[in-house]
């Protein structure tokens, strides 16, 4: 700018105008001197920005003035250069709470939240009931106990990524054994519905998850069952308690700490479910099985929108923290008690 | 009375059998599939229980050409190391939380839990940067971030189990002159065996099955663990189903052996009779 302006200066004839140009030149010199050794994007304070912007307005005014009065070789270019100078201000990319504002009205996020909740509630409930049953079977002393314990842990011993792949073969519409079986017993209308219809896909992922993690639940509860002293059951027998009474009055209350740990960690895991759904359905069909972590993954790495992806993660974190607090408050009263 | 009892037990055995069958069926089906030639996996041959032309080609391919044994070795090293160090740390932590009164105990438990509240793929990024700067990628140091997935649950399980061991046993040991460390390793640890071995099984399998951290941190094939190695059994256009099934069978066997060994220690009645009530 300095260069062009000095060149144009010779065309400016009136003394008054010359002075103006000189003053502007001085100012520009001063400012460029200050930022001479800085490179790349600079962070500037608010007052700095004000002075720089003022300089911009002044130079535009002067140049416009000159252009109106004289015909200078660089008149039009100068204006462009000055404009560019203003454009070199990059406003901060700090957007405050706008990401959360967007999240509030994001229908896709609402759907993902609903899917995640549905998945978590149904699968954890089924896993808990089946896992408790399995734990009670494993707890009985009989011959072949080790064999039953080990075989029933098979599903959980298979890596999730591999198990999900396995299920995608079993659910396959043409050659899947499970999908064909479901069709035969009338659970689904068409064997390809399992992965290709919204409700079918959700059901499939839940079944696969229940199959996979029931043993995990069972072994956590089994360890808790082992800690209940036999004596209590004997005393209950003498008092004439029935099977069901013993279960609700002794087993469940005594199992509370183990139940807390099992439910807590299972819920947290189910809420963050990722690889199973990623492999089985990738959130489809039409977002019917898209969970929060999958949505955040797609936003973060698929659209490289790290900001909004993080917003989703934080929302997830808040949900999970609330769930954890509720569990600990409801079930955890005796976690800290000593026997 | 006798008769209804008999009926009851037959019914429950039948229920248990159906239940276990359901649990095992998918695995069983994969076992069948692993012996099928490629042509029978999809289409008409898909529902055959015994393949028309059974083959062990997939096993040979996976074992000798795809280096699955190396990844089994890696998984074994990684999972064992994780189990040992996590159990050691978790025992101390859980014992302190269970037995000593100090400020911020609940906060500590909450923070430990908080670690497992973030989705893993968000945690992986920073860990990758850290490992890159420390030059730890492609090494067995991957066991360190494994603690984020295994330590919280280990501590929580052990706390609940330590809480159920009668204090009287420890007090009498103290009277006999045992130090705190002795009490922990000679009284509490053995008595909490069901909890400790449950934790060990859970930690071992969690480490064995870990996928995301390994694939991110150890891109070198010679450090791939089992799940990662299986995920590479595909070509550009298709998944090699027969090899995937064969690999699934092979890699599940070691974990089952570990479970079989550990589950023997999950027995009840260790503390009964220890204290007169």
Q: Does residue A225 sit at the B interface (CB-CB below 8 Å)? A: yes
Class of domain B66-232: mainly alpha
Question: Cβ–Cβ of B167/A152 closer than 8 Å?
Answer: no
What is the CATH superfamily name and number for domain A98-334?
Answer: MetI-like (1.10.3720.10)
Looking up tokens 């298709």, which residue turns up?
A: B238
The angle subtended at Cα B162 by Cα B158 and Cα B167, nearest 5°, is 170
CA distance A129 to A120: 14
> In A, which residues are within 8 Å of B209 by CB distance?
157-161
Domain spans in chain B, listed from the N-terminal domain onward: 66-232
> In A, which residues are within 8 Å of B159 by CB distance?
335
At A292 the three-state DSSP class reads helix
Which ipTM score applies to this complex? 0.83
Q: Does residue A262 sit at the B interface (CB-CB below 8 Å)? A: no
Instruction: Chain B: give the shortest CA distance to residue A293, in Å.
Output: 7
> In B, which residues are within 8 Å of A161 by CB distance?
209, 211, 227, 230-231
Out of A50-54, B4-8, B123-127, give the one with best mean pLDDT.
B123-127
Rg over CA atoms, chain B: 24
CA distance A37 to B177: 72
Q: Does residue A159 sit at the B interface (CB-CB below 8 Å)? A: yes
Q: Does residue A174 sit at the B interface (CB-CB below 8 Å)? A: yes
- In terms of Cβ atoms closer than 10 Å to its own Cβ (0-12, 13-18, 19+), residue A60 is middle
CA distance B16 to B23: 10
Question: Cβ–Cβ of A161/B116 closer than 8 Å?
Answer: no
**Could you list the pLDDT tens digit for every one of the 339 residues in chain A?**
666 666 666 666 666 777 777 777 777 777 777 666 666 666 667 777 777 777 777 777 777 777 777 776 666 777 777 777 667 666 677 777 777 877 778 888 888 888 889 999 999 999 999 999 888 888 876 777 777 788 888 888 888 888 888 888 888 767 777 777 777 776 777 767 777 777 788 888 898 899 988 988 988 888 888 877 777 888 888 888 777 888 888 888 888 888 888 888 888 888 888 888 888 887 778 778 888 888 888 887 778 778 888 888 888 888 888 888 888 887 765 555 544
Q: Does residue A264 sit at the B interface (CB-CB below 8 Å)? A: yes
Instruction: Chain A: give the shortest CA distance to residue B100, in Å.
Output: 11
Question: Cβ–Cβ of B122/A324 closer than 8 Å?
Answer: no
> In A, which residues are within 8 Å of B239 by CB distance?
165
Helix (H) or strand (E) holding B201: helix B193-209
Question: Cβ–Cβ of A223/B208 closer than 8 Å?
Answer: no
Tokens of B48: 């055959």
Tokens of A184: 């035969």
Domain spans in chain A, listed from the N-terminal domain onward: 2-87, 98-334
Task: Assign 3-state DSSP to chain B and report helix, strand, coil percentages, each to 5.
Answer: 75, 0, 25
Q: Does residue A151 sit at the B interface (CB-CB below 8 Å)? A: yes
At B234 the three-state DSSP class reads strand
Q: Does residue A218 sit at the B interface (CB-CB below 8 Å)? A: no
């Amino acid at each position: 700018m300095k260069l062009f302006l000095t060149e144009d200066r010779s065309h400016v004839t009136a003394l008054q105008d010359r002075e103006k140009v000189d003053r502007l030149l001085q100012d520009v010199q001063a400012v460029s001197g200050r930022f001479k050794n800085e490179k790349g994007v600079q962070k500037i304070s608010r007052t700095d920005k004000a002075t720089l912007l003022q300089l911009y307005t002044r130079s535009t005014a002067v140049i416009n003035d000159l252009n109106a009065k004289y015909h200078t070789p660089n008149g039009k270019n100068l204006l462009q250069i000055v404009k560019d100078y203003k454009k070199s201000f990059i406003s901060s990319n700090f957007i405050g709470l706008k990401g959360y504002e967007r999240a509030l009205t994001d229908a896709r996020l609402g759907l993902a939240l609903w899917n995640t909740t549905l998945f978590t509630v149904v699968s954890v409930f089924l896993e808990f009931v089946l896992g408790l049953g399995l734990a009670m079977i494993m707890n009985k002393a009989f011959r072949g106990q080790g064999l039953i314990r080990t075989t029933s842990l098979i599903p959980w011993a298979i890596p999730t990524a591999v198990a999900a792949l396995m299920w995608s073969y079993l659910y396959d519409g043409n050659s899947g054994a499970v999908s064909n079986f479901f069709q035969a017993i009338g659970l689904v209308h068409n064997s390809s519905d399992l992965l290709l219809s919204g409700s079918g896909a959700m059901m499939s992922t839940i079944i696969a998850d229940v199959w996979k993690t029931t043993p995990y639940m069972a072994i956590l509860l089994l360890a808790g069952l082992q800690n209940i002293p036999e004596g209590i059951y004997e005393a209950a027998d003498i008092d004439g308690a029935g099977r069901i009474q013993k279960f609700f009055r002794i087993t469940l209350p005594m199992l509370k700490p183990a139940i807390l740990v099992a439910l807590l960690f299972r819920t947290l895991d189910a809420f963050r479910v990722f690889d199973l759904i990623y492999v089985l359905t990738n959130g489809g069909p039409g977002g019917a099985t898209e969970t929060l972590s999958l949505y955040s993954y797609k936003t973060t790495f698929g659209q490289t929108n790290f900001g909004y992806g993080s917003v989703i993660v934080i929302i997830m974190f808040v949900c999970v923290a609330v769930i954890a607090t509720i569990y600990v408050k409801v079930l955890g009263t005796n976690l800290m008690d000593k026997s | 009375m006798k008769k209804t009892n008999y009926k009851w037990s037959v019914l429950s055995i039948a229920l248990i059998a159906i239940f276990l069958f359901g649990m095992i069926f998918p695995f069983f089906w994969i076992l069948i599939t692993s012996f099928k030639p490629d042509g029978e996996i999809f289409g008409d041959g898909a529902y055959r229980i015994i393949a028309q032309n059974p083959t062990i080609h997939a096993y040979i391919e996976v074992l000798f050409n795809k280096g699955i044994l190396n990844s089994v070795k890696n998984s074994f090293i990684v999972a064992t190391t994780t189990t040992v160090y996590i159990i050691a740390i978790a025992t101390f932590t859980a014992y302190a939380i269970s037995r000593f009164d100090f400020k911020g105990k609940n906060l500590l438990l909450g923070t430990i839990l908080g670690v497992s509240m973030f989705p893993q793929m968000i945690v992986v990024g920073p860990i990758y940067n850290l490992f890159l700067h420390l030059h730890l990628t492609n090494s067995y140091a991957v066991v360190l971030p494994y603690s984020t997935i295994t330590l919280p649950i280990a501590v929580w399980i052990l706390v609940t189990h330590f809480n159920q061991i009668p204090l009287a046993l420890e007090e009498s040991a103290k009277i006999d002159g045992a130090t705190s460390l002795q009490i922990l390793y000679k009284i509490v640890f053995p008595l909490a065996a069901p909890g400790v071995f449950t934790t060990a099984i859970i930690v071992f399998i969690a480490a064995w099955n870990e996928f995301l951290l390994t694939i991110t941190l150890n891109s070198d094939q010679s450090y791939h663990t089992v799940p990662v190695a299986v995920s590479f059994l595909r070509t550009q256009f298709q998944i090699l189903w027969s090899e995937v099934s064969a690999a699934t069978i092979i890699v599940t066997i070691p974990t089952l052996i570990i479970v079989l060994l550990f589950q023997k220690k999950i027995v009840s009645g260790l503390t009964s009779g220890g204290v007169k009530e």
